[in-house]
Amino acid sequence: MKLLRMKPGHGEIVLAEGDVAVPEQERELIEAFRRELDAGMWAAVPTRAPSGRREAELVKSFAEVPRDAERVIFFPRAAGGAPPASG
């Protein structure tokens, strides 16, 4: 599983990578996950339905991440009322 974070001026960066079946690596993933959530990020898991439909699932804790998920993508939380020029 990879934890990715969107970053201005860079694109995504890999925060952590590991096998959730390996306790030590899972611990590192959980710590990185919590750090991002504490920093105010939203976490999403891209999913693919058997029909081929692609969607995402917002998760609020590592326990909600499907064990077979390949990636969790962190991105800044949504904020309304952006400046008129940027929307």
Partner 1 sequence: MGLALGTAAVVLVVLLWELARPTLKRALARSHELWAARRRGNAPLGYDPGRERRAEQRARALLRSCVTERDWEMYRDLGFLRVWGGLGDRGRGSGAAYAYLIYPHKPIVAYMPQTGELLNEYCVAFPDHSKPYGSSRLPDSDDVLAKWMALTADERRLVGEANMHLPGRQVDPDRVRRDIVRLRRWEQRLSADPASPASGRGGSSGWDPDNIRAA
Q: 30 or 41: whose CB is closer to partner 1?
A: 41
Determine if 73 is a binding residue for partner 1 (CB under 8 A): yes
Give Rg (Cα) of the chain: 14
Which strands form 54-59's sheet, in the order they lie side by side? 11-17, 2-7, 71-76, 41-48, 54-59
Q: Tell me which residue has tokens 């804790």.
A: 61
Q: 31 or 70: whose CB is closer to partner 1?
A: 70
Contacting range for partner 1; rule: CB under 8 A; set: 15-23, 26-34, 37-45, 61-69: 37-45
Minimum gap (Å) between residue 24 Cβ and partner 1? 28
Determine if 8 is a binding residue for partner 1 (CB under 8 A): yes
Cα–Cα distance measured from residue 61 to residue 30, given in angstroms and rounded to the nearest whole number: 9
Residues 6+ apart with CB under 8 A from 35: 15
Residue from the set 21, 24, 50, 86 that interacts with partner 1 by CB under 8 A? 86
Determine if 50 is a binding residue for partner 1 (CB under 8 A): no
